[in-house]
Amino acid sequence: MLAMQHSNSSGGTAPIPLFNDTPAVKVLEAVAGNATRPRSNPTSAGLTMTLGILFNVVALIILAKAYNRFRRRSKATFLLFASSLVATDLAGHVILGALVLKRYSAGTGSAADPVSSFQNDSANPDGCCLFLGSCMVFFGLCPLFLGCAMAAERCLGVTRPLLHSRLVTMARTKMALALIWLLALCVALLPFFSLGTYTYQYPGTWCFIRVMEGTRATDLAFVTLFSGLALSSLASAFVCNTVSGITLVRARIKKRLCSRRGSAGSQDTEMVVQLVGIMVTSCICWSPLLVFGLMSATKSYSGFLPGDRETYSGLMVIGVRMATCNQILDPWVYILLRRAVLRKIYRITKRKASFKRSTFRSIRWDISSFQNSEKKNSVSTI
């Protein structure tokens, strides 16, 4: 997803640019100190959106080729999950990016005071904001749910391969995908049934659950549900990947001499390594927004937010900027953590290790031969 900076006038509180190299501390100081920043443009945001689309398309091509090459049931179901995850990231990147760019272009030249414009928009969200907020929740939950489902599927395949081959089929995998998308959609549509509210978030270019001003009990319940489901998915994926990793390590130690089973083991290792990469990326990118949103809603509902509103606004912006990176980094997991790439890394590492061993042995041989020659010379002189 894509969040962008809003343009700034010569006076007033400076909006927070979402795509720059400013550290988080300086960002918060600029908000609290009413600093003035120059008028900005959406070039960096458009470039980020283009790169995200390119990376996701490349990852989809790689997964499509792998799906045509491997026909094993376990590998096919994993690739179907992975392709669905990348396709969901691509769709979210395009839809959310287009909506944010449209919001940016509509607000850059019309409002003389962007802060007051943001406050008015926050009080009266329009249909575009409701759709944007729904997409934020939907495309935020879907990758986390899919990552959890992939981890559970691989855990079953690694620990109980016979049960996995009997239970996990392509039809059931497609049904699970449909249920995951349906669950995320139901959660995203809850504000349309009076459970929670979507509002524009500072600096007015993106929409999310109401967590800053006028937070009600339904808003707190909604953000708690959203954060709870997301964090539970991350925790479940962590448990499943840990079990899969330990099982693979034990199996490799026991069957170290059986070279015939290396192909299946290498495929399982590749999939688990990719799942760990997805899990780590999701934890790093999504945890700040989930935690900051829950903290902001709790303090706002309790009435303790007014004094720290600027600080929590900056934290929310940092959180959504990090969440944006998830859809850009996910494709690199499949691009870099493929078996071919891992095999090259393993060969390079093995060559370096063998070279160091041979060098060490040659040095030891030279030293021992030198000592033997010295002993012979001493004996001959005697």
Instruction: For 243-297, write each residue's pLDDT tens digit.
Output: 998 988 888 787 765 655 545 566 777 888 888 888 999 999 999 999 998 988 8
DSSP string computed for 255-289: TTT-GGGHHHHHHHHHHHHHHHHHHHHHHHHHHHH
Q: Are 318 and 24 in contact (CB under 8 A)?
A: yes
At 155, which helix (H) or strand (E)?
helix 127-159
Contact 56, 327 (CB under 8 A): yes
pLDDT score at 148:
94
* DSSP code for 200: E
Chain-centroid distance, C-alpha 79: 18
Q: pLDDT value at position 135? A: 92
Three-state secondary structure of 64-97: HHHHHHCCCHHHHHHHHHHHHHHHHHHHHHHHHH
What are 250's two structure tokens? 């034990």
327 CB burial (10 A radius; 0-12, 13-18, 19+): buried
H or E element at residue 198:
strand 198-201
How large is the C-alpha radius of gyration of the chain? 27
Nearest to 324 by CA among 129, 59, 132, 139: 139
How far is CA 269 from its chain centroid? 21
Q: In this structure, what token pair is assigned to residue 194?
A: 């009076």
DSSP category for residue 108: T
Q: Which residue type is seen at 184?
A: A
Element (H, E) at 208: strand 206-209
User: Which positions of the chain have pLDDT values less than 50?
Assistant: 3-40, 108-117, 262, 370, 379
Q: How far apart are CA 179 and CA 183, in angstroms?
A: 6
- Angstrom distance (rounded) from CA 78 to CA 331: 15
The crossing angle, in degrees rounded to 10, of helices 127-159 and 309-336 is 50
Q: How far apart are CA 248 and CA 137, in angstroms?
A: 35
3-state secondary structure of 207: strand
- State the number of CA atoms in the 13 A half-sphere of 302 facing the CB: 10
pLDDT at res. 327:
83
**Residue 23: what residue type?**
P
Whether omega for the bond prior to residue 191 falls within 30 degrees of 0, making it cis, is: no
Angle at 201 between CA 196 and CA 207, to 5 degrees: 60
Q: Tell me the two tokens of residue 185.
A: 């959609």
What is the reported pLDDT for 337? 75
Measure the CA–CA gap between 359 and 353, rounded to whole angstroms: 10
Q: Please state, in angstroms and rounded to a whole number, the distance separating the CA atoms of residues 369 and 382.
A: 20
Length of the chain: 382
Q: Which two tokens stand for residue 246?
A: 């330990």
11 Cβ neighbours under 8 A, 6+ residues apart: 36
- Output the pTM of the full model: 0.75
Give which of 157, 162, 189, 159 is closest to 173, Cα–Cα.
157
